[in-house]
């Protein structure tokens, strides 16, 4: 897997884990973030390449900061 | 300043600080990342909204991980 694909997959898994930990459905989380549910789904499946602004919105929606959002092993 | 602008400005300042700490010019850093110098300049000025893949390339180019790249105060 290319490094650029791997980071998207790892981040998607991280977002899903954190979302489930706070007990939010994709729908509820998308509403909280003001993003489309299918976009959240795409991020969690690792097929989207979100921008810094979207990453910040997601972290804010999870009530965490960006270092915490990225606190996962992403060595390829 | 909008939160979305603030995060871009904060990240830009962080990238510049880290780049200078490793003694790289924008040109040399852009070459290392395989990105255009003007794009690096735009990121450092906070006027670009880089994607996750680009952020990962920048962190890799600085030999750090993403949590370290985002280890700055970005409360708005």
| Tally of domains within chain A | 1
- Asked if the Cβ–Cβ distance from A65 to B70 is below 8 Å, we say yes
Residue B55 is assigned to a structural domain of this protein: yes
* CATH code (residue B49): 1.10.260.40
- Asked if the Cβ–Cβ distance from B50 to A52 is below 8 Å, we say yes
Give residue A39's domain range.
3-69
Q: Where are the beta strands (DSSP E) in B18-70?
A: none
| pLDDT, tens digit, 9 for 90 and up, residues B17-61 | 999 999 999 999 999 999 999 999 999 999 999 999 999 999 999
Cα dihedral value A44, A45, A51, A56, nearest 10 = 10
Q: What is the ipTM of this complex?
A: 0.92
Number of other CB atoms surrounding residue A28 within 10 Å: 14
**pLDDT higher than threshold 70 for residue A75:** no
Which tokens sit at B15?
């990238």
| pLDDT, tens digit, 9 for 90 and up, residues A3-58 | 778 999 999 999 999 999 999 999 999 999 999 999 999 999 999 999 999 999 99
Residue B58 is assigned to a structural domain of this protein: yes
The residue among B34, B38, B9, B14 whose CA lies nearest residue B26 is: B38
Residue A63 is assigned to a structural domain of this protein: yes
DSSP string, A24-73: --HHHHHHHHT--HHHHHHHHTT----BHHHHHHHHHHTT--HHHHT-S-
Residue B46 is assigned to a structural domain of this protein: yes
Number of other CB atoms surrounding residue B25 within 10 Å: 12
Residues in B closer than 8 angstroms to A74, CB to CB, are 56, 65-66
Question: Nearest chain B Cα to A10, which residue?
Answer: B52
């Amino acid at each position: 897997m290319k490094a650029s694909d791997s980071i998207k997959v790892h981040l998607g898994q991280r977002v899903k884990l954190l979302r489930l930990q706070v007990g939010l459905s994709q729908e509820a989380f998308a509403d909280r973030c003001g993003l489309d549910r299918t976009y959240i789904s795409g991020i969690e499946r690792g097929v989207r390449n979100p921008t810094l602004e979207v990453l910040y919105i997601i972290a804010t929606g999870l009530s965490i900061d960006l270092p915490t959002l990225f606190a996962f092993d992403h060595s390829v």
